Amino acid sequence: MGLKIYLDGKLVGEEEAKISVFDHGLLYGDGVFEGIRAYNGLIFKLEEHLDRLYNSARAIMLKIPLDKKEMKEAVLMTVRANKLANAYIRLVVTRGKGDLGLDPRKCPRPTVFIIASTIKLYPRELYYKGLEVITVPTNRNTVSAIDPQIKSLNYLNNILAKIEANLVEVPEAIMLNKDGYVLECTGDNIFIVRNGVLITPPTYLGVLAGITRNTVLELAGKLKIDAREEVFSRYSLYNADECFLTGTAAEIIPVVRVDGRVIGDGRPGRISLRLMKAFWKLTKKEGTPIYKRGMM
């Protein structure tokens, strides 16, 4: 039995979940999205994800046809319809159907769809062994061109970097800015640890303020780990004691080798593992309940 997809106010089967070939989300990547996780019947950081979705839409002058309360109910309805307790939720708002021109004024109504399914980005053993990643020639888009705080449907910049990672058969790529400073990966934020200090690039440099990234910074405060937002280069990355990536799909995953350089002692570090355990513990108890007692 296929998934039930929310599409413009209705739940439809995945085979019937279709949008127009004239939709500007398809034609031009004109739209915004969020990836959201549910754990053990709780949707993690749902309010924060919705805030970011609506902020992204406001930034591109896209009027979402549901208010936040209605959107929250649509998300819950979609997860319930698929009888999921653990899920990956993809919430998408496009500019909608228009013509073959660029003008968004030709799109009278946005398209909204929600997919609730599952995701497994990395094998479980890599969370304890660590990843090997590379830096790539494809630079991250500049803030003056496309602000990375806008989580838009146009991911070609990230996809080009992902292709470069695929060519050397590593699972993720680190992207730099035009000045050679480390920004983020194709789908994840990045942290390093040096001399016991947790460091991540500042958002003003051109980094998405990831929900998991922000959660890690909050957890670091609670665990009395000194955490800072600082600019750093590949030199600092290569000489870090620890490194890990964060993202909604990836959660927190250690990195043990970058561009052939071993990070630290080549194993996930103590601070990385502390934060991983704290994050997993948090996901078990914090979130928006999907089901009322006795519903599932």
- Establish if 9 belongs to a structural domain: yes
Q: Is 83 an active-site residue?
A: no
The span from the CA of 146 to the CA of 142, in Å, is 6
Residue 20, by phi and psi: left (phi above 0), alpha (psi -120 to 50) or beta?
beta
The span from the CA of 56 to the CA of 143, in Å, is 14
Query: Are 259 and 145 part of one and the same domain?
Result: yes
Average pLDDT over residues 10-27: 97
pLDDT at 276 over 70: yes
CATH of the domain at 148: 3.20.10.10
CATH of the domain at 26: 3.30.470.10
Q: Among residues 151, 178, 277, 281, which one is catalytic?
A: 151
Percentage of the chain exceeding pLDDT 70? 99
Average pLDDT over residues 33-61: 98
- Establish if 38 belongs to a structural domain: yes
Query: Are 93 and 153 part of one and the same domain?
Result: no
- Establish if 288 belongs to a structural domain: no
The span from the CA of 269 to the CA of 128, in Å, is 10
DSSP state of 267: S
Q: For residue 149, what pLDDT is reported?
A: 94
Query: Are 45 and 143 part of one and the same domain?
Result: no
Query: Are 238 and 203 part of one and the same domain?
Result: yes
SS3 116: strand
Number of domains in the chain: 2
Domain that holds residue 197: 126-283
Query: Are 136 and 276 part of one and the same domain?
Result: yes
Buried b vs exposed e over 171-182: b needs ≥16 C-beta within 10 Å?
bbbbbbbeeebb
Q: For residue 293, what pLDDT is reported?
A: 73
- Establish if 252 belongs to a structural domain: yes
Mean pLDDT of the chain: 96
Query: Are 108 and 161 part of one and the same domain?
Result: no
Confidence band of 39 (pLDDT split at 50, 70, 90)? very high
- Digit-coded pLDDT (tens) for 174-230: 999 999 999 999 999 999 999 999 999 999 999 999 999 999 999 999 999 999 999
pLDDT at 161 over 90: yes
pLDDT at 67 over 90: yes
Closest CA to 201 of 245, 178, 232: 232
Between 296 and 95, residue with greater pLDDT:
95
Instruction: Select from 117, 148, 173 the last residue of a domain.
Output: 117
- Establish if 25 belongs to a structural domain: yes
pLDDT at 295 over 70: no
Query: Are 162 and 247 part of one and the same domain?
Result: yes
Closest CA to 247 of 189, 172, 199, 182: 189
- Establish if 50 belongs to a structural domain: yes
Instruction: Select from 117, 143, 178 the last residue of a domain.
Output: 117
The span from the CA of 140 to the CA of 230, in Å, is 17
Query: Are 215 and 72 part of one and the same domain?
Result: no
- Digit-coded pLDDT (tens) for 218-228: 999 999 999 99
- Establish if 244 belongs to a structural domain: yes
Query: Are 138 and 92 part of one and the same domain?
Result: no
- Digit-coded pLDDT (tens) for 118-158: 988 899 999 999 999 999 999 999 999 999 999 999 999 99
Token pair of 32, please?
């915004």
Query: Are 142 and 237 part of one and the same domain?
Result: yes
Q: For residue 248, what pLDDT is reported?
A: 97
SS3 232: coil
What size, in residues, is the chain? 296
Query: Are 214 and 158 part of one and the same domain?
Result: yes
Confidence band of 292 (pLDDT split at 50, 70, 90)? confident
Q: For residue 121, what pLDDT is reported?
A: 84
Average pLDDT over residues 24-43: 98
Per the CB < 8 A criterion, the answer to whether 235 and 176 are in contact is no
Instruction: Select from 100, 117, 134 the last residue of a domain.
Output: 117
Query: Are 53 and 132 part of one and the same domain?
Result: no
- Establish if 292 belongs to a structural domain: no
Q: For residue 226, what pLDDT is reported?
A: 98
